[in-house]
Amino acid sequence: MKRTQTLSYKLSLLFFSGLVFAMTAGGVATFLVQNRIIKNLTNSTLKNSVFVSSKETEEELIAVEATVNDSRFLVESLFTSSSQLTDKSYIETSLNDIAPLYESATKSFDCVCSYYVFLNPSYTHLSIESPTGDGFFRVRNSNGEFENHSVTNILQYRETDTEYVSWWYSVAETITPAWLEPYYNANIDRNMFSYVMPFFSQSDEFLGVIGIDLNLESVIHHLSEIDEYSKAYPYLQSSSGTIVYHKDVPTIVDGRYVGSNKSLEDISGIQNFQKTEDGAITYRYKGERRTTMSMTLSNGLTYGLSVKTSELRKPIRLVTIIPLLVYIGVSLILVFVFYIFIRRYIRPLQELHKAVESVQKGDYKLQIDSKRTDEIGDLTRSFSGMLSSLSEKNRMITAMAFIDGLTGVKNKNAQRDMAKLIDEKIKKGNAKFAIIMLDVDGLKLINDTLGHEEGDKVIIGSCYSLCKAFSHSKVYRIGGDEFIAIAEGEDFENRQKIYEKLKNKEISVRNQKFEYSVGMATYNPGSDKSFKDVFSRADQEMYLNKKAKR
């Protein structure tokens, strides 16, 4: 009997020991898997926060590139030969035509501090004694308005005088567009970085540069507006990895940007610096464990966001404790509890992780079940709330990106997309359209004499005339006072008749009549290779019509 009890005891002990060992091993394995998912989830959430907090700045950088490129086309349409750069009268007239259009395209950018066109002194015969260079330089004042500033005479400086002439030599040497690394500009006492592009004559002569400067402090301010975390701070690195901005690295001394030769890893006090497979960086700094994610902006700078790791994982901290409590308290029903645990905790986290990955790909229309009443449910509802907020913000940003705020018609961004669609039709051989361009006459005079509010009414009235005339066509505002209609279908068939009526109309504001100039070009399969070719002809006809009125 004693032997049977001993064997029964050993079998029971072996069974329960094996069961406890198997369940404990399973519990540990489950905890490790869960911890891995939580780590990926937190890193993905942080990466999405970096994307959201930098989206406004990134869109402005992209818009700056597009504005400089579009303005370059205008400059090159006026300066077609180096011989024109010897005619001071022609230079002055052309620059006066360019400046207001350039300003209207840049004024909406919060971070832009100046814009300019500089002509190659080799062709203008600029002398070293001249107090200014040839071109124009417009600088934003404290009221947000742009005002003229003296143009730098680059002949008075050496190439190494980067505080004065880096914007010229950085492009003149390579003859290619470039984003300049942050620097201090002594000409206007501003810290900035710039996008500069060369422009050429029809025979590929290098005639000068056109560029836009962005205020470094304004960009840093935008990137520092972070609401999701209480202990988060941003940083910027140059293309070579050195610190451009970090709250504990003095890169601006006495108001001047001096930069730094340190990378993030070189900052004093950072320990246990490690890079993970998903692009995150973890380290210990001032007694805190921190996690950072980063992304490269269009101008080559790297924007990163550093957050206290415990704050990242705070919403799911209780979730990591529950499985440990379950496996400690359960004995005979461990198998059942393990199964329930898998279904109750791991799978929802996996689904939530998949949802985060979908959001990273731009899908904001996910529906996540949030009926649970535990911490996972709280986390899911928090994520759903964030998802709804991101979806609404994305919708608003998308609408703002393609609709003109003053007239309500589509803007330059929408026009670029339409141009790409039309270019596809041209390639397929089924394009049939005409471009009608409208430009308000004397808008600057209207603004100066009647005020900008009345000027806006003239712009709106001009837009209404174009929309009403070509009522079945898409209308775009492509500049301050420039609009185009892309006539297709019924409007295309009646384009000449409609165009002639449109040419003879006027706009009435405060009992005063105002005119606009129009031009039209029809797509010709034999000579037009792209939307741009038709656009250029419509633009040329419009300017000829405008010139004929003078």
How far is 26 from 20, CA to CA, in rounded Å? 10
pLDDT, position 50: 82
Provide the residue-wise pLDDT of the chain in tens; the chain has 550 residues: 444 344 344 444 555 566 566 656 655 655 555 556 556 666 777 788 788 888 888 889 999 999 999 999 999 999 999 999 999 999 999 999 998 888 888 888 889 999 999 999 999 989 999 999 999 999 999 898 999 999 999 999 998 998 999 999 988 888 999 999 999 999 999 999 999 999 999 999 999 999 999 999 989 888 888 767 777 788 999 999 999 999 889 999 998 999 899 898 888 888 888 888 778 888 898 888 888 888 899 889 999 888 888 777 765 555 556 555 665 666 567 666 655 655 665 666 666 667 667 666 666 666 666 666 766 666 677 766 676 676 666 666 666 778 988 988 999 999 999 999 999 999 999 999 999 999 998 888 888 888 888 889 989 988 999 999 999 999 999 988 899 999 999 999 999 999 998 887 787 766 778 888 999 999 999 899 999 999 999 999 999 988 887 6
How far is 347 from 60, CA to CA, in rounded Å? 40
pLDDT, position 10: 46
pTM of the prediction?
0.53
E strand or H helix at 281: strand 281-285
Q: List domains and CATH numbers for the chain.
A: 2-46+317-394 (no CATH), 79-218 (3.30.450.20), 412-549 (3.30.70.270)
How far is 52 from 67, CA to CA, in rounded Å? 23
How far is 197 from 427, CA to CA, in rounded Å? 29
How far is 98 from 479, CA to CA, in rounded Å? 12
pLDDT, position 4: 38
How far is 129 from 118, CA to CA, in rounded Å? 17
pLDDT, position 335: 60
Q: Is 213 within 8 Å of 206 (Cβ atoms)?
A: no
Q: What is the DSSP track for 21-66?
A: HHHHHHHHHHHHHHHHHHHHHHHHHHHHHHHHHHHHHHHHHHHHHH
- In 194-329, which ranges are continuous DSSP H helix? 216-223, 309-313, 317-329
How far is 347 from 355, CA to CA, in rounded Å? 12
Q: What are the backbone dihedrals phi and psi of residue 197, each rounded to the nearest 5 degrees, phi first?
A: -135, 135
